[in-house]
Amino acid sequence: MTTKVRIKYEKKGQLRFLSHLEVKRVLERAVKRAGMALEYSHGFNPRPKMIYGTASSVGLASEAEFVDLVLTQPQSPVEVIKRLNRALPPDIKATVAMELPPGAKPVMAIAAASRYRLSCRGSSPDAIGEALAKLAGQAGYVISRQKLDRVKHIDVGPMILDYEPPHQAGSDVELDICIKDTTEGSAKPREVIEALNAFFGLDVDLVMAVRTAVLTKKNEKLISVL
């Protein structure tokens, strides 16, 4: 009988520059080093069964990344966190673990939005707040994303679900923003800033973006996963 444990972990410091694939390998090796009894896939090239949450882009720090582990025997979530953290590099850290009920859907399938904390420079909190008020929810502010040889057009406004008024925090302007996370696509924090600069005449420099939560819909309300 296998059990599934959902892990919430953070990714910060220089390790925010790891790609999703690189993070996966870090976790896979940590699980091995931690000596955890994971279920393996069959075939010529068996891999531990681990189900990852939505990929976060290179450079984005996060306090809300997810991975589900399929264990061959039940283990207390506290023990799982302890063992994992002993095997992980310091800038990736498991923070919460929870045993999943049978049939629980993966994070990827239930994620509806992500909340971010952005630190910016170059414009005042008021100027950013005014521009955001015009952008949020409004269609027509389209920016393009180059991916290899394809160009994707992203209508940024409708992706912004919600935000807190920006405020000064030391030398940076801090801003909390909630962006839609759908299977059809999403906007990156960097792209929101890009739209502010392109359509509202700002000159904002994004210093750091942190994902603070992944949200899922429950009874028509958005709540945090774990």
Partner 1 sequence: MDDLSFKIEKLLGQVSKPARYINSEINAIHKDWDTAWLKTVLIYPDIYDVGLPNLGLQILYGIINSREGWVAERAYLPWLDMIELMRAGDVPLFSLESQRPLMDFDVIGITLQHELTYSNIVHILSLAGIPRFSVDRDSSHPLIIGGGPAAFNPEPVADFFDAFIIGEAEDAIIEFLSVCEASAGSRQQLLEDLVKIPGVYIPSFYQPVYKDGRFAGIKKVNDQAPDRVTKRVIDDLDRIDIPTRPIIPYIDVVHDRSSVEVMRGCTRGCRFCQAGMIYRPLRERSPAKVKDAVESIIETGGYDEISLSSLSSADYSPIEALLEELSPLMVKDHVTISLPSLRVDSFSIELAARLSQVRKSGLTLAPEAGTQRLRDIINKGVTDDDIEAAATKIFTQGWQKLKLYFMIGLPGETQEDIIGIANIARKIRHLAFDILPKKQHSRIAIIVSVSNFAPKPNTPFQWFGCNSMDELLSKQDLLKDELRLSHVKFKWHDAEQSMFEAALARGDRRLGLVIADCADNGQILDAWSDYFSYQRWGEAFARAGYDIEQLATAGLADDDALPWAHIDCGVSVDWLLEEKSRAMTGEATPDCREECSGCGLCPDLGLKNMVGECR
Size of residue set near partner 1 by CB under 8 A: 28
143 binds partner 1 (CB under 8 A): no
Element (H, E) at 21: helix 20-33
Distances, alpha carbon 59 to alpha carbons 13, 16, 18, 210, in Å: 9, 5, 7, 9
- Contact with partner 1 (CB under 8 A): which of 12, 52, 59, 110? 59
Interface segment toward partner 1; rule CB under 8 A; list 12-20, 121-129, 131-139, 154-162:
12-20
Q: Hey, what amino acid is at 56? A: S
Rounded to the nearest whole angstrom, what is the least distance from the CB of residue 39 to partner 1 in the complex?
Answer: 11
Rounded to the nearest whole angstrom, what is the least distance from the CB of residue 215 to partner 1 in the complex?
Answer: 26
User: Dmax over Cα atoms in the chain, in whole Å?
Assistant: 59
Distances, alpha carbon 20 to alpha carbons 16, 17, 23, 146, in Å: 10, 9, 5, 18
The pair phi, psi for residue 113, each rounded to 5°, is -160, 165
Rounded to the nearest whole angstrom, what is the least distance from the CB of residue 87 to partner 1 in the complex?
Answer: 7
Rounded to the nearest whole angstrom, what is the least distance from the CB of residue 103 to partner 1 in the complex?
Answer: 27
Can you give the binding site for partner 1, defined by CB under 8 A? 13-15, 17-19, 21-22, 25-26, 28-33, 35, 40, 44-46, 48, 58-59, 87, 89-91
